[in-house]
Amino acid sequence: MIKMENVRKVYDTGKIEVEALRGIDLHIKKSDFVTVIGPSGSGKSTLMNIMGCLDKPTTGEYKLNGQNIKNMNDNELSELRNKEIGFVFQNFNLLPYASAYENVEMPLLFAGIGGKKRKEKVEYILDKVALGDRMDHKPNELSGGQKQRVAIARALVNNPNIILADEPTGNLDSKSGREIMELFVDLWKEGNTIIMITHDHRVSQCSQRIIEIIDGKIYE
């Protein structure tokens, strides 16, 4: 599903070049649950962004479902993100003026999915993350854990092949964090492919496979 060969990422900040990834070789199969750990600044988010097609490697090959990212234009990458990938961010990143329902609906709007089908999907997925009774709430009317569940619902709603979560429990208290982790484990058990960055070692114990990144290199 995910195949990286000698992926390097260099950030050219003008004065200095930062080599965030220094030759990553990685293979992730369908229905894996992978956690990525490592110190701050080691390149975890950079790797995640490349896996999620938000960014391209400076050198090296990245193939998603056998398709080489290098040859795709911005429109094709947007479509790929919309259909194949679900992002969950540390800061939830919900639209503040939109209700839970509208936030979850958004990927379907970009996918051009019609009214009735859209409604079914959104309601189904919000039920699934136990927010069926909070659909009309704005983000500022929800707790941190509830916000992250909305974000997860948004990531799931278009049935992606991969869910990418960058420190999804980083901004939550431990109780909400545990609940969110349980949700991810449930999703994995249903067959979803999950790749998650975390600082929390207890969290990584839940996963099948742990990848450690130090200084832009992978250690397993």
Ligand X SMILES: Nc1ncnc2c1ncn2[C@@H]1O[C@H](COP(=O)(O)OP(=O)(O)O)[C@@H](O)[C@H]1O
Residue ranges that bind other proteins, judged by CB under 8 A: 49, 52, 54-55, 74-75, 78-79, 81-83, 87, 89, 93, 95, 97-98, 102, 105-107, 109-111, 154, 158
Mark 29-68 with x for binding to ligand X (rule: CB under 6 A) and - for no binding.
---------x-xxxxxxx----------------------
Q: What would the x/- binding string for ligand X be over residues 17 to 36, using CB under 6 A?
A: -x-x----------------
Residue 16, classified by CB atoms within 10 Å of its CB into exposed (0-12), middle (13-18) or buried (19+), is exposed
Specify the residue, 38 or 168, whose C-beta has the smaller distance to ligand X.
38
Determine contact, residues 77/53, Cβ cutoff 8 Å.
yes
| Min CB(150)–Mg ion separation in Å | 21
- The H-or-E segment that residue 205 falls in is helix 201-206
Q: Give the shortest CB-169-to-ligand X separation in angstroms.
A: 15
Helices (H), 28-173: 44-51, 74-84, 100-111, 115-128, 144-156
User: How many residues are recorded in the chain?
Assistant: 220
Write the DSSP symbol of residue 43: S
Residues 6+ apart with CB under 8 A from 11: 17, 18, 19, 20
C-beta of residue 48 within 8 angstroms of C-beta of residue 166: yes
Among 45, 103, 158, 176, binds Mg ion (CB under 5 A): 45
Distance from C-alpha of 213 to C-alpha of 61, rounded to nearest angstrom:
19
Residue 95 binds: one of other proteins, ligand X, Mg ion, none (C-beta under 5 to 8 A by kind): other proteins
The CB-of-9 to other proteins minimum distance in angstroms stands at 11
Q: Contact positions toward Mg ion, by CB under 5 A?
A: 45
Which residues of the chain form contacts with ligand X (CB under 6 A)? 11, 13, 18, 20, 38, 40-46
